[in-house]
Amino acid sequence: MEPDSKPFTPVSTLGEFGLIGHLTNSLHLLQPSSVKGVGDDAAVIRYKGNPYTVATTDMLLEGIHFDLTYTPLKHLGYKAAMVNFSDIYAMNARPRQLLISLGISGRFGVEQLEELYAGLHMACTRHGVDLVGGDTNSSLTGLTISITVLGEATKKQLTYRNTAREGDLICVSGDLGAAYLGLQVLEREKKLFEQDASFQPDLSSYEYIIGRFLKPEARKDIIDYLERAGITPHAMIDLSDGLSSDLMHVCEQSQLGCKIFNHKIPIEERTAQTAEEFGLEPLIPALNGGEDYELLFTVGTDAYEKIIHFPEISIIGHMVEPEAGRYLVTQEGTAIELKAQGWNHSAPMRTSLPAQEDGRQKK
Least Å distance, CB 45 to Mg ion, is 22
Nearer to Mg ion, 87 or 175 (CB): 87
Nearer to Mg ion, 144 or 240 (CB): 240
Nearer to Mg ion, 152 or 238 (CB): 238
Nearer to Mg ion, 84 or 262 (CB): 84
Least Å distance, CB 239 to Mg ion, is 8
Nearer to Mg ion, 30 or 55 (CB): 55
Least Å distance, CB 83 to Mg ion, is 8
The Cβ-side half-sphere exposure at 305, using a 13 Å CA radius, reads: 2
What is the per-residue burial (b if ≥16 Cβ within 10 Å, else e) of 292-309?
A: bbbbbbbbeeebeebbee
Nearer to Mg ion, 161 or 270 (CB): 161
Least Å distance, CB 256 to Mg ion, is 19
Least Å distance, CB 351 to Mg ion, is 27
What string of H, E and C letters represents the secondary structure of the chain? CCHHHCCCCCHHHCHHHHHHHHHHCCCCCCCCCEEECECECCCEECCCCCCEEEEEEEEEEECCCECCCCCCHHHHHHHHHHHHHHHHHCCCCEEEEEEEEEEECCCCCHHHHHHHHHHHHHHHHHCCCEEEEEEEEECCCCCEEEEEEEEEECCCCCCCCCCCCCCCEEEEECCCCHHHHHHHHHHHHHHHHHHCCCCCCCCHHHHHHHHHHHCCCCCHHHHHHHHHCCCCCCEEEECCCCHHHHHHHHHHHHCCEEEEEHHHCCCCHHHHHHHHHCCCCCHHHHHHCCCCCCEEEEECHHHHHHHHCCCCEEEEEEEECHHHCEEEECCCCEEEECCCCCCCCCCCCCCCCCCCCCCCECC
Nearer to Mg ion, 168 or 238 (CB): 238
Least Å distance, CB 54 to Mg ion, is 12
Least Å distance, CB 338 to Mg ion, is 18
Q: Which residues bind Mg ion (CB under 5 A)?
A: 87, 238
Q: How far is CA 165 from CA 301, 310, 320, in A?
A: 11, 22, 8
Least Å distance, CB 246 to Mg ion, is 8
Nearer to Mg ion, 189 or 238 (CB): 238
